[in-house]
Chains A and B, each alone.
Chain A
């Protein structure tokens, strides 16, 4: 499973301060920790700066790639910020994100088709957030068609079914799980991706919920997750889930993690 390390996001107070103070050492350290913990991509998000987002996102791209030899997940709803950030990125980034919203789709499309990159595609229609699994599949299928029609390969599309809090509607966890399964069945080769932590909004003991949800998503075939890789319980849950799903031959990764002392959670 592909891990996107979520920790470099300016909605976190310490990251915000580090970006504002241009503290490259601190940002580099957060990036390294996530890389060491097993991240395949490092997410960078400077969204809270609004007016200066583009400038700071570009700074984050350069700062993080100076510290770790990994591709980044360029995370912004702003096509302008993404356009500038991608120019400074080395290797194939994961771009987060595109959706059916017309302005956003039209602005993002040239970026997505221009160079080698992977794209997170959000399962929302142009006018409403999805509620049911069917809402997600309908919006997702339409977006997949539009992207593949433009020459984007299924392998480069990361469908995000949009995780929403079960605290406001207990059907929302299941809706995501069912949608993941349908995408994996109907579009062989496609990637599915989730940000986990929304699921536990409004509830206590959120880490427990997040890691249980990760197991369930993994069972449905989820191929990538945006999470905190430095959370040992989350990574241990993932290792044991993958072993139980028969994806860890001779239980090698699991035992190896145990011997490295990574399963003491």
Chain B
């Protein structure tokens, strides 16, 4: 097995120490960091996300894999040259206005990063104005919104309308999720896609930017 294969396996299993060792070995062997990132780290996290979406992995296992990936990233970061780090897409993410729940949103952000997206996280209680303002600044491919409360879900609709008003709706894709959210609600408010969990969010995000 090559170092990259072992690295992928270690990330998959959430073997943090092993993954770090393999990454260091790959660097020492003179492998391109871009190859370590794409064929090692991101490929492994893609697999983790898919397994999670199928229910074959549980949240703590996913967290451990993500932690392993993050530590490996720290190791290879100093070797990146301009052009190495072209993200799959830019995602602007946040929990909607007046909703303070961040657990699901954080899992989604983490998995998107793991899959190679550039993620800007606005945190919780994000108003439509904040989404629009940040979107104008960073021009994301996708805006991802989360809500855990039925009372805050309408904030997603308000944000979409605000994006329309700002003439930005045609240039971004909208992904939504959260316990009370359904694919029907996504249709009703004219979001592009509903993602039921963090693994699915990655799969859908890749479809949205045309890289699946």
Binding site for B on A (CB under 8 A): 11, 47-50, 53, 76-78, 101, 103, 124, 127-129, 164-165, 167-168, 170, 201-204
Contacts and interface: CB of A to CB of B under 8 A. Distances in A.
A34 B200 CA distance: 35
A209 B140 CA distance: 40
A124 B100 CA distance: 9
Given A124-B100, A128-B124, A48 B59 contact: no
A168 B153 contact: no
Given A50-B150, A129-B102, 13 more contacts: A11-B179, A11-B180, A47-B149, A48-B150, A53-B150, A77-B152, A101-B98, A128-B100, A165-B59, A165-B103, A167-B63, A168-B106, A204-B58
Ordered nearest first, which 8 A-B pairs have the shortest CB separation?
Answer: A202-B59, A47-B150, A167-B59, A77-B151, A78-B151, A77-B149, A167-B60, A129-B100
B196 interface: no
Nearest to A204: B58
Contact of A202 (B60, B98, B101, B150): B60
B129 to A, nearest CB: 18
A8 to B, nearest CB: 15
B203 interface: no
Contacts of A50: 150, 153-154, 185
Contacts of B100: 124, 127-129
Contact of A203 (B59, B125, B179): B59
Interface in B146-166: 149-154
Contacts of B98: 101, 103
B106 to A, nearest CB: 8
A103 B100 CA distance: 14
Q: Is the interface of B mostly helix, strand, loop or mixed?
A: loop
B209 to A, nearest CB: 27
Interface residues of B, number: 23
Q: Is the interface of A mostly helix, strand, loop or mixed?
A: loop
Contacts of A128: 100, 124
B63 A168 contact: yes
Contacts of A77: 149-152
B168 interface: no
Nearest to A45: B150
A203 B60 contact: yes
B107 interface: yes
Interface in B76-110: 98, 100-103, 106-107
A48 to B, nearest CB: 5
A177 B67 CA distance: 27
Task: Give the residue among B100, B101, B149, B150 with the most A Cβ atoms within 10 A.
Answer: B150
B151 A48 contact: no
B59 A168 contact: yes
Nearest to B154: A50
A148 to B, nearest CB: 24
Nearest to B103: A168
Contacts of B185: 50
Contacts of A48: 150, 180, 182
